[in-house]
């Protein structure tokens, strides 16, 4: 089809486009390679299923913003169909041989499919363009108070405009190109109703103009592609390449909240945490290129939605724009995210969970906290009391270890010295040692264990804080000391199973301590309650009318450890019919205590996080909020008091113990 001059021009244009694209790609690879760590290629075979679901089926995209996600998925599926034709059409243009027409029924089916796929692309783009440039939802941008790279605030919209223009121009030209090819063909090889309808517009045109039209539309289509390719490494479209890599090769985590092990006894380590981009892991650098700039992480972030300056999306966008336009890996991370935002993070994991491409902005923030706390001693001074308590008395409340068992007075709660070979080791947690409400939960759970005849024991005065709050606040030294001591003690005892009433204890014992040599089976108290009910070891009265209950999923029980059904089943066992909040299960909204926020004042915003969560619970019409975490209990009770205690806040164990049949 192409003339000799056109063929020469096509070769030159393709060579220039590929070379410029290569240069942009090489620059990205050099940035990612400058990050810490090595790729574990052994993960790839294990994650083929996840790649199929998340990438080819767009499973991670479809979890949120359904209509928009559907059009995005249709767009993606259509491109997968059309990309093959983009490889075939140049062969036809070069040789005059239409390869597809030599593939029989399959070729006919494929041409029909491409005809519809091209139309789907244009329809989907019409929706997405109207949404972004006409409707302009707030969820596709960020507040003026959010720190963004100087080029980003306008650049995000410009990038979207360029990408949208390229897709619409290229695929409109493709449709025209197909239609000119069909003009005058009485018996087309394949059914192409859309291209045929357009072809009817050219039916009275002279043959010479048909040729011109076919050539012109070919050049517009492939010219747009060749012009876009060098821009591709700088656009948000680069996520098409790095999102699958991110999902396939990101380091294995026991949970989304698990942090990397730091050996503080290693004299070779000169710096802890991340001060610059170069201090991040390779996958954390790649997150910037995988980012779609969809702002989903920002939309679910409890800090952002309550008016704080933190935006996890802005962090990834700032990383990308800095690498694209400023270039250096030695930029200080605190120039990409303000310190106020760093300390506003609740470490709830919502941003990590919702990201359709597997980005982990929370991990960047916690690495920056490590650097600030350990290398600069730069952290909110309100945290000093909790740190001092963990260092001196092995708990953030600074309660003497001698008082650790006061909560159990009058109850049958054996210590490990009294019962050295228990079936269940109950890790009680720090809260019952000082907080009256947490003590009530512990006492209720002790009654359940005794009623079921469980062979259990507690560590008593030997139990210490797991160090979760210290680690989330960057004080790895405090966490390291507590973890080392706790693992040494537990390995000496060799517990068969550990049960906790605090999700933060569960997470740390189960997911963080293996790096210290502690491998334990750890469950939550609601899981054990379900086991006891299922085994018939406790019998319960059923009273469906006693409460209108909504359950608040603790972040470190649900999102971080995938325990969603156990607390609900425990409530169902006493006849409760739950009224779910809009944000529940993996989409649960944080109580406001995570990420060591329990021990400091909340950053300024339009409202407090616990008040926002409480308001969501109240809107359900429930009279009781069921919880499974002592931190969540404290935060929601505080919000309830501000509301005149309109809703009761009760732990699942407290609700179950009231229904025990004696």
The helix-helix angle for 282-290 and 361-375 (nearest 10°) equals 140
Look at residue 110 and tell me whether its pLDDT is greater than 60: yes
Q: pLDDT grade, residue 387 (50/70/90)?
A: very high
Among candidates 50, 79, 46, which has minimal Cα distance to 244?
50
What are 296-322's pLDDT values in tens digits?
999 999 999 999 999 999 999 999 999
What are 82-91's pLDDT values in tens digits?
999 999 999 9
Alpha helices in 402-519 (DSSP H): 436-451, 468-472, 476-493, 503-507
* Domains assigned to the chain: 43-136+157-221 (no CATH), 277-375 (1.10.1060.10), 383-533 (3.40.50), 539-657 (3.40.50)
What does the block give as tokens for 430? 């720090």
pTM of the model: 0.94
What are 456-501's pLDDT values in tens digits?
999 999 999 999 999 999 999 999 999 999 999 999 999 999 999 9
DSSP conformation class of 573: T
Tally of CA atoms within 13 A in the half-sphere of 414 that contains its CB: 17
Alpha helices in 394-465 (DSSP H): 436-451
Q: How far apart are CA 88 and CA 366, in angstroms?
A: 48
Percent above pLDDT 90 for the chain: 91
pLDDT recorded at residue 187: 81
Look at residue 629 and tell me whether its pLDDT is greater than 70: yes
Look at residue 557 and tell me whether its pLDDT is greater than 90: yes
For the segment 285-289, the average pLDDT, to the nearest whole number, is 97
What are 272-283's pLDDT values in tens digits?
999 999 999 999
Q: pLDDT grade, residue 544 (50/70/90)?
A: low
Find out whether 494 and 414 touch, Cβ atoms under 8 Å. no
Q: pLDDT grade, residue 98 (50/70/90)?
A: confident
pLDDT recorded at residue 97: 87
- CA quadruple 84, 86, 90, 96: dihedral, nearest 10: 60
pLDDT recorded at residue 546: 61
Look at residue 545 and tell me whether its pLDDT is greater than 70: no
For the segment 559-566, the average pLDDT, to the nearest whole number, is 97
Among candidates 52, 284, 263, 71, which has minimal Cα distance to 167?
71
Q: pLDDT grade, residue 254 (50/70/90)?
A: very high
Among candidates 111, 113, 86, 77, which has minimal Cα distance to 222?
86
pLDDT recorded at residue 239: 95
Higher pLDDT pick, 434 / 20: 20
Q: How far apart are CA 505 and CA 509, in angstroms?
A: 6
Task: Identify the helix (H) or strand (E) that includes residue 208.
Answer: helix 207-231
Among candidates 445, 506, 509, which has minimal Cα distance to 483?
509
Q: Is 301 helix (H, G, I), strand (E, B) or coil?
A: coil
Q: pLDDT grade, residue 53 (50/70/90)?
A: very high
Look at residue 547 and tell me whether its pLDDT is greater than 80: no
Q: Is 599 helix (H, G, I), strand (E, B) or coil?
A: helix
Pairing state between β 549-551 and 456-458: unpaired
Q: What is the DSSP string of 609-620?
A: HHHHHHHHHHHT
Find out whether 466 and 508 touch, Cβ atoms under 8 Å. yes
Average pLDDT, the chain: 95
Find out whether 562 and 553 touch, Cβ atoms under 8 Å. no
- b/e map 73-93, b = 16+ CB within 10 Å: bbbbbbbebbeebeebbeebb
Q: pLDDT grade, residue 204 (50/70/90)?
A: confident
Q: pLDDT grade, residue 75 (50/70/90)?
A: very high
Q: Is 407 exposed, middle or buried (0-12, 13-18, 19+ CB in 10 A)?
A: buried
Beta bridge partner(s), residue 36: 281
Q: Is 368 exposed, middle or buried (0-12, 13-18, 19+ CB in 10 A)?
A: buried
Look at residue 525 and tell me whether its pLDDT is greater than 80: yes
């Amino acid at each position: 089809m192409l003339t000799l001059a056109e063929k020469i021009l096509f070769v030159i244009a393709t060579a220039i486009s590929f070379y410029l694209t290569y240069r942009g790609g090489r620059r990205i690879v050099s940035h990612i390679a400058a990050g810490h760590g090595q790729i574990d290629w052994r993960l790839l075979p294990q994650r083929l299923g996840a790649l199929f679901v998340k990438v080819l089926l767009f499973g991670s995209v479809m979890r949120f913003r359904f209509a928009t996600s559907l059009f995005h998925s249709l767009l993606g599926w259509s491109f997968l169909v059309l990309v093959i034709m983009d490889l075939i059409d140049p062969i036809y243009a070069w040789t005059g041989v239409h390869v597809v027409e030599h593939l029989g029924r399959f070729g006919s089916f494929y041409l029909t499919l491409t005809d519809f796929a091209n139309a789907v692309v244009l329809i989907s783009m019409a929706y997405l363009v109207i949404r972004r440039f006409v409707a302009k939802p707030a969820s596709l941008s960020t507040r003026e108070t959010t720190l963004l790279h100087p080029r980003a605030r306008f650049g995000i919209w410009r990038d979207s405009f360029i990408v949208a223009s390229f897709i619409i121009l290229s695929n409109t030209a493709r449709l025209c190109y197909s239609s000119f090819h069909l003009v005058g063909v009485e018996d087309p090889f394949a059914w192409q109703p859309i291209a045929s309808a357009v072809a009817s517009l050219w039916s009275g045109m002279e043959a010479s103009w048909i040729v011109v039209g076919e050539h012109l539309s070919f050049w517009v289509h492939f010219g747009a592609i060749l012009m876009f390719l060098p821009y591709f490494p700088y656009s948000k479209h680069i996520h098409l390449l790095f999102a699958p890599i991110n999902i396939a090769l990101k380091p294995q985590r026991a949970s989304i909240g698990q942090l990397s092990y730091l050996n503080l006894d290693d004299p070779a380590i000169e710096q802890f945490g991340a001060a610059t981009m170069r201090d991040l892991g390779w996958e954390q650098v790649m997150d910037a290129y995988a980012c779609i700039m969809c702002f989903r992480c920002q939309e679910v972030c409890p800090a952002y939605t309550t008016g704080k300056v933190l935006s996890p999306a802005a962090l990834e966008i700032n990383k990308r724009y800095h690498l694209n336009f400023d270039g250096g890996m030695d930029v200080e991370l605190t120039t990409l995210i303000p310190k106020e935002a760093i300390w506003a993070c609740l470490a709830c994991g919502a941003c990590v969970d919702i990201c359709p491409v597997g980005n982990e902005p929370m991990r960047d923030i916690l690495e920056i906290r490590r650097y600030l706390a350990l290398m600069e001693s730069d952290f909110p001074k309100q945290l000093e009391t909790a740190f001092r308590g963990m260092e001196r008395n092995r708990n953030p409340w600074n309660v003497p270890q001698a008082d650790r068992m006061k909560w159990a007075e009058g109850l049958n709660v054996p210590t490990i010295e009294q019962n050295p070979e228990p079936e269940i080791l109950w890790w009680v947690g720090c809260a019952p040692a000082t907080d009256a409400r947490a003590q009530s939960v512990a006492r209720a759970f002790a009654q359940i264990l005794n009623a079921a005849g469980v062979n259990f024991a507690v560590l008593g005065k030997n139990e210490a804080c797991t160090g979760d709050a210290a680690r989330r606040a960057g004080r790895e030294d405090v966490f390291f000391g507590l973890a080392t001591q706790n693992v040494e003690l537990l390995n000496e005892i060799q517990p068969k199973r550990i049960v906790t009433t605090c999700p933060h204890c569960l997470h740390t014992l189960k997911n963080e301590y293996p790096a210290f040599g502690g491998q334990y089976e750890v469950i939550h108290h609601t899981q054990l309650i379900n086991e006891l009910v299922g085994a018939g070891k406790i019998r319960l009265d059923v009273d469906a009318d006693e409460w209108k209950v909504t359950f608040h999923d603790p972040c470190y029980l649900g999102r971080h450890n995938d325990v969603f059904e156990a607390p609900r089943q425990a409530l169902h066992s006493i006849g409760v019919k739950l009224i779910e909040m809009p944000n529940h299960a993996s989409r649960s909204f944080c109580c406001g205590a995570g990420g060591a926020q329990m021990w400091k004042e909340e950053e300024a915003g339009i409202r407090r996080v616990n008040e926002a969560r409480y308001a969501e619970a109240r809107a359900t019409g429930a009279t009781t909020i069921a919880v499974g975490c002592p931190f969540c209990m404290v935060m929601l009770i505080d919000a309830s008091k501000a509301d005149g205690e309109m809703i009761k806040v009760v732990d699942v164990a407290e609700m179950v113990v009231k229904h025990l049949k004696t």
